[in-house]
Amino acid sequence: MKMKLLLVLSASLLVSSCTTTGIVGAQNCVVHQPPVDCTDTPVSPAVTLNLTTMKANPPNVCAGPGETITIKLVPGPAEVGTVAVVPKNFADTWLVGTNFPDKGKIEIEVPAWVPTITNHDYGFVTSTGDCADPRVHVK
């Protein structure tokens, strides 16, 4: 647990220091321009993060309160604990996770208390300093 917290805190500092729309300072940050409309999936919200290109597909995913967003890491799997999700707005404490214990995916649950019809920008960061900044739209 301490290692996970340390990774998330380190990743948070990295993400909070990027330029353009909130992520400043990371050397290899892929800035997404999410479309206004989110991508709605019929079964469950999912994002695929390509660790080679640091592109998230979709760049704006829809999720409702109580749903779990599954982030698949490709090509993978990555080493356990080397990829993290951190919110750009640190008030979005629910939007934090890492690929631990499953090295091939990250799961983020949207709590029931998150307001609907809101956008939540976040970043993916890796232990090598790469990052990306997609969005979650709570429907």
**pLDDT single digits (tens) 60-71:** 889 999 999 999
pTM, whole model, 2 decimals?
0.76
pLDDT at 59: 86
Better-scored residue on pLDDT, 27 or 23: 27
> Greater confidence, 117 or 135?
117
Topology, domain 2-138: Immunoglobulin-like (2.60.40)
Comparing 81 with 14, which gets the higher pLDDT? 81
- Helices and strands in the chain: count of H runs, count of E runs: 1, 11
Distance between first and last Cα of the chain: 31
Average pLDDT of the residues in 87-108: 95
Residue 24 reports pLDDT greater than 70 = no
How far apart CA 43 and CA 107 sit, in angstroms, is 15
Given a contact cutoff of 8 angstroms between Cβ atoms, the answer to whether 56 and 124 are in contact is yes
Any idea where the domains of the chain sit in the sequence?
Answer: 2-138
